[in-house]
Amino acid sequence: MTLIKKEEHCPDCGVGIGEVHWPECDVARCLHNGLALDSCSELGGCGPDVWSGYWHGARECEEYGFLLVFPDMNRLYQEAVWDRDAQRWVIRAKE
């Protein structure tokens, strides 16, 4: 059972599921590093980010048990790394 609510439209740019975020959208993510597109160093060369209905990282937070009342993105960024090929956050390998 999922606790994360799917949203039909991006809360910032308003695109629907399956549509590409607008370039100035604060929700859009860099496909190379998984972080905010507006802080991307690739200068638009990372490809189009498509709205899935979920905030980036929210489903991974739920999968890994990183939930408070909402997805704990800080913990996700500390304990996981962005997998470019899978286009999702994965738990870091233990060193």
Could you give the CA distance from residue 28 to residue 37 in angstroms, rounded to a whole number? 6
pLDDT band at 1 (very low <50, low <70, confident <90, very high): low
Q: Is the pTM of this model over 0.75?
A: no
SS3 23: coil
pLDDT tens-digit series, residues 3-58? 788 999 999 999 999 999 998 899 999 888 888 887 777 665 678 899 999 998 99
